[in-house]
Amino acid sequence: MMTMLDRSKPSPLVTPPHAEPLDDALARLSTSRKGLNQAEADARLEEYGPNRTPRGRRTPALLRFFRHFHNALIYVLIGAAAITWWLGHPIDTAVILFVVFANAVIGFIQEGRAEAAMEAIESLLSPHAAVYRDGRRVTVEAVTVVPGDVVFVEAGDRIPADLRLIKSSHLRIQEAILTGESVAVDKSVGVSQADAPLGDRTGCAFSGTIVTAGQAEGLVVATGINTEIGRISGMLSSVDRLQTPLLRQMNAFAKWLTILILLIGAALLSFGVFIRNADFSETFMSVVGLSVAAIPEGLPAVLTITMAIGVRAMAGKNAIVRRLPAIETLGAVSVICTDKTGTLTHNEMMASAIIVAGQAFDVTGDGYTPSGDISPAPSEPVQSVLEQLAITATVCNDSRLVKDAQTWTVSGDPMEGALLAFAGKILGPLDDVRRDHPRTAVLPFDARHRFMATLTTNGTGQHVRAKGAPEVISSLCTKMMGPDGTPVPIDHKFIKA
């Protein structure tokens, strides 16, 4: 039976978890490698709160509906409806009010759908977690995980909280949601430098990331808003809300239109009463009728329906648009910032430039489609070097290109898929290449040696082919291909340059 642990709040965090020795982290969190007991876990849950990302303040549905009336042009239309009713034109009043309410209903329905889609993001946190309580491994809801818990994870699990690893066995974690890197990261129990970027903190696992291989035990060092993904969520919740260009233009248009109509109405009323000596009440009613007729009551409905069509088209491309006016903002975008690998967009990569035999070539094509051109056209000696490079990219590769209808996708690593697409542009169908160069042995890629190698056999004998980090591959070689396609002594300075 475990004794009750110290319920005092863990001491202030001086050294970041990735740079903190494990024993120090255990002592700071008043826990052990066997985890917490249930009483202590309940007390900490009361103290730290549920392990979930912060939820923004929800706007009541009624308030969201009436918010669609908060527009200068809508105010003008409501005023026009009141005047037409006063003038005894109920049909005109009904038409104007129908346009106003239709505009609000369309926007309200679209926002409701977007809100439902945004709530699905909460599924990033694993619903359950395996933790050690009272010395036994039990399964609990992820929202009840607290700092000081010891969590067990294995391939396929989503990390429930930020962890400092205690044990690790061939652990690899996909951290694309935090770093944008498409390749899973190898993890270990060692410490990292205090100023190490998030992607280099190999001794930690972060909430919301996915275990792709291996298993591990980790000490929970942060939950909820204090995790890396919680910090990002908190930053997003504090973003200032700005009006879109369309809404600014609509408000300016409504303001100037109202002023213009009032000025013209006042001028017509003055002209009729003081110059033409017309009856004031009759002239006033005529001026009001002209003013109402000048208001473009169909404009908000046309804009709302147009934007709703745009939102529907974006939804077909798997893009969530939370508010209708935001769809117009896309047309005003002048700069798009994205990550270097394209993981945030399509998670696709493509070989776009090749350097062989001291010459650089551009590669054209689209995604993983194995067709494209090499420019400028290589000479005969260089062409043979390109073919050897393409064979290496094919046989020293564990992925496959798959054609689904008219679209090519990769089954495996995106980088390896890009190499296969490049090889297809040089060699044509790759099944023939793999059949002619059967693999007899393989050295899988590992972060420690940073390359992958295969042993293949064909009619000319056995060949070792490898791909990996340039400095590692070049350090294993004594020769390289010269400009004429023949081997020359390797020039490490040239390669580095």
Tens of pLDDT along 385-412?
Answer: 899 999 999 999 888 888 877 788 887 7
Predicted local distance difference test score (pLDDT) of residue 9: 47
186 is catalytic: no
Q: Is the pLDDT of residue 3 over 50?
A: no
Predicted local distance difference test score (pLDDT) of residue 280: 75
Distances 250 to 101, 198, 256, 292 between C-alpha atoms, Å: 18, 44, 10, 18
> What is the maximum span of the chain, computed from C-alpha positions, in angstroms?
111
Q: Beta partners for 480?
A: 488
Q: Is the pLDDT of residue 336 over 70?
A: yes
From the number of C-beta atoms within 10 Å of its C-beta (0-12, 13-18, 19+), residue 486 rates as exposed
SS (H, E, C) 154-214: ECCCECCCEEEEEEEEEEEEECHHHHCCCCCEECCCCCCCCCCCHHHCCCEECCCCEEEEE
Q: Tell me which of 379 and 147 has the higher pLDDT.
A: 147
Q: Choose, from 6, 42, 339, 491, the residue flagged as catalytic.
A: 339
pTM of whole model > 0.95?
no
Pairing of strands 185-186, 204-205: unpaired
Amino acid letter, residue 384 = S
Predicted local distance difference test score (pLDDT) of residue 44: 93
Predicted local distance difference test score (pLDDT) of residue 1: 32
Predicted local distance difference test score (pLDDT) of residue 347: 62
Please calculate the CA angle 151-159-36 and round it to the nearest 5 degrees.
Answer: 20
Tens of pLDDT along 351-368?
Answer: 999 988 778 899 998 888
Report which of 4, 17, 9 is spatially closest to residue 219, judged by C-alpha positions: 17
Tens of pLDDT along 424-439?
Answer: 999 988 888 888 899 8
Q: b/e map of 380-413 (b: 16 or more CB within 10 Å)?
A: eebeebbeebbbbbbbbbebebeeeeeebebeeb
Q: Is the pLDDT of residue 234 over 80?
A: no
CB-CB neighbours of 76 under 10 Å: 20
Tokens (6 digits) for 104: 């609000």
Predicted local distance difference test score (pLDDT) of residue 88: 79
Q: Is the pLDDT of residue 126 over 50?
A: no
pLDDT band at 6 (very low <50, low <70, confident <90, very high): very low
Predicted local distance difference test score (pLDDT) of residue 243: 67
d(CA 244, CA 34): 54
pLDDT band at 494 (very low <50, low <70, confident <90, very high): confident
Report which of 462, 496, 492, 494 is spatially closest to residue 478, judged by C-alpha positions: 492
- Strand boundaries in 392-438, DSSP class E: 400-404, 407-411
Tokens (6 digits) for 268: 């017509």
pLDDT band at 236 (very low <50, low <70, confident <90, very high): low
Contact of 28 with 10, CB cutoff 8 Å: yes
d(CA 230, CA 239): 15
